[in-house]
């Protein structure tokens, strides 16, 4: 069980940190390079808050986000240790979320903010910039939601809830 979690979590963290290091060392702050015109650019920005810059201007943001991220990682590890044999379908989603949370936690500890660099936009309408860790968290949450939905449908139908 832990082998699979590590095979997902560690590459997410490593890829996230390598891409952020690249942006940090090769781009000036706010520099942007178009990858696909009118759709995708690489841009060097910093996010002091959470998703969509929530709490970005709060004086408690740095300790708050470090504590919340650390607790999230610990809760995921606890859940995996305690329930992974009962819920094998939860391992992949939780490993992705764990890797993403740890990747952004490293930034918060090291810089006090998160490096974001993926800019998706259409005709001047920009989605907030994000990074690999954010992507892993979103994919993990989507998979987790699907897994919970599927398991509840199976349970309601009287089928086997687990894989």
Residue 146: the pLDDT is 96
Quote the pTM value. Answer: 0.88
**Which of 16, 119, 134, 151 is flagged as catalytic?**
134
Residue 87: the pLDDT is 78
Residue 154: the pLDDT is 83
Residue 12: the pLDDT is 98
Residue 60: the pLDDT is 78
For residue 163, indicate whether it is catalytic: no
Residues of the chain with pLDDT under 50: none
pLDDT digits (tens, 9 = 90+) for 134-151: 999 999 999 999 999 998
Helix (H/G/I), strand (E/B), else coil: 60: coil
Residue 163: the pLDDT is 53
| Nearest by Cα to 66 from 113, 25, 27, 124 | 113
**Which of 107, 116, 119, 151 is flagged as catalytic?**
116
For residue 119, indicate whether it is catalytic: no
Q: Where would I find the beta strands (DSSP E) of 80-147? A: 114-122, 125-126
């Amino acid at each position: 069980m832990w082998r699979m979690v590590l095979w997902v979590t560690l590459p997410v963290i490593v890829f996230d940190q390598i891409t952020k290091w690249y942006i940090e060392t090769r781009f000036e702050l706010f520099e942007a390079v178009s990858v696909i015109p009118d759709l995708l650019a690489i841009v060097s920005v910093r996010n002091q808050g959470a998703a969509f810059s929530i709490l970005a201007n709060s004086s408690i943001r740095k300790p708050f986000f470090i504590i919340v991220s650390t607790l999230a990682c610990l809760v995921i590890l606890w859940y995996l240790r305690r329930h992974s044999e009962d819920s094998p379908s939860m391992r992949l989603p939780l490993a992705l979320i764990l890797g993403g949370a740890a990747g952004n936690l490293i930034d918060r500890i090291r810089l006090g903010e998160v490096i974001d660099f993926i800019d998706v936009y259409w005709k001047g309408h920009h989605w907030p910039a994000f990074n690999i860790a954010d992507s892993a968290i979103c994919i993990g949450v989507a998979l987790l939601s699907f897994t919970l939905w599927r398991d509840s449908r199976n349970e309601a139908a009287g089928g086997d809830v687990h894989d």
